[in-house]
Amino acid sequence: MSGFADVIGHKQPIDVLRRAMQNGKVAHAYLFTGAAGVGKTTVARAFAAALNCQTLPDDACGTCVSCRKMAQGNHPDFVELEYEPDPKTGKVSEKYKIEQIRLKVIKQSYYRPLEGRVRVFLIKDADTMTLEAANALLKTLEEPNAQNIFLLETRHPQLLPSTIRSRCQLLRFGALSSEEIGRFVVVEMGVSEEEALTVAALADGSLGRAAALDLEYLQNVRLPLFAQLLKMEGALETRALAMGEMILAGGEDMKEVIDLLTGFLHDALQWRVEPDPARIRNRDALDLVEQYAQRFDVADIYAKMRSLVYARRLVERNVHKQMIANGLGVDLLATQATMFTRGRLPK
């Protein structure tokens, strides 16, 4: 992994960067925007490597001394900020504080690059700089200097001060197509093309999510979970309890199971609107999606989705998981959604 050739998708922003290098018109600061996990950081690192590559003018060769140091993560002129633990509490807060920006970015930017042509600073989730930190960085961005290049990434550009945004060249990173993710999954995860298709559909345009999906889990948990949504025989209590158990068994982070269920209901809604298999995410569960869509109407499906949203927020608020799972089990299986949907949604 080194140059642009290894990046999946994002032809447009990469073309912009390469052309800038070819024409000697690289901006002092770039702001990469786009969803989590689409590949902003991968492109940023490839760009940083290309800027100091000793062989190629507009890409990283992967073999020169500079490219090798980049690949090993020890190039002295590439500064990738990480969140740091608070010196007092030892806790890592997901913020860049002013001291860190001063020490790791501003101070370093005064010196010449040690080995490369330029020094590249990468600030991921740049919107998590404190306002003080952002203002300190702004001063540096306002006094551009050819030896420093700043790469800022964010999912939420609107959270960055407009003064910072206006100092950067904006590059948008769109979601990857299912084909692009499928390619990544087949190569990186070593799965069949058919499995890759499902993973790609579930990953929602994000390579990060695709890589994090656990295939075995998907196969062992997903389909029985969806099938349980369709169980009608027997007492509600028994079925709901079984559903609750399955939700709990789905893993530490209950949000993942909740998202799976939401995705399934989303598919059922989609099927009611337009029964086109190409638009269904859970393509390996197509018959279940179809049955569900035939049995429940739009209002029912919405009510159940609302329960899932509610449950997700309860998980985020650390409400006891057993309780959430039980409540959700009842709501998902009752003909009319009950306890969760009556409550107001917590913020």
Binding site for Zn ion (CB under 5 A): 53, 55, 61, 64, 67
Nearer to Zn ion, 54 or 270 (CB): 54
Nearest-approach distance from CB 194 to Zn ion, in angstroms: 38
Closest to 133 (Cα-Cα) out of 84, 90, 174: 84
State both tokens at 248.
């709990």
Nearest-approach distance from CB 262 to Zn ion, in angstroms: 45
Percentages of the chain per state (helix, strand, coil), in multiples of 5: 60, 10, 35
Q: How many helices (H) and strands (E) does the chain have?
A: 18, 5
For 77-94, give the DSSP string.
TEEE----B-TTT-PBPS
Closest to 229 (Cα-Cα) out of 210, 215, 242: 242
Nearer to Zn ion, 55 or 166 (CB): 55
Nearer to Zn ion, 64 or 170 (CB): 64
Nearer to Zn ion, 34 or 62 (CB): 62
Q: Which residues contact 120 (CB under 8 A, 6 or more apart)?
A: 47, 48, 51, 52, 77, 78, 79, 148, 149, 150, 151
Separation CA 259–CA 234 (nearest Å): 27
Nearest-approach distance from CB 320 to Zn ion, in angstroms: 54
Nearest-approach distance from CB 60 to Zn ion, in angstroms: 5
Nearest-approach distance from CB 72 to Zn ion, in angstroms: 13
State both tokens at 281.
């995410």
State both tokens at 189.
């995860």
Nearer to Zn ion, 61 or 98 (CB): 61
- Give me the sign of the Cα torsion angle 77, 78, 83, 84: negative
Do residues 313 and 306 make contact, with C-beta atoms less than 8 angstroms apart?
A: no
State both tokens at 4.
């642009």
Residue position matching structure tokens 């979601």: 175
Nearer to Zn ion, 62 or 157 (CB): 62
State both tokens at 125.
């989730």
Do residues 213 and 182 make contact, with C-beta atoms less than 8 angstroms apart?
A: no
Bridge partners (DSSP) listed for residue 129: 96
Nearer to Zn ion, 48 or 134 (CB): 48
Nearer to Zn ion, 49 or 301 (CB): 49
Nearest-approach distance from CB 41 to Zn ion, in angstroms: 19
Nearest-approach distance from CB 113 to Zn ion, in angstroms: 15
State both tokens at 282.
């859970």
Nearest-approach distance from CB 68 to Zn ion, in angstroms: 8
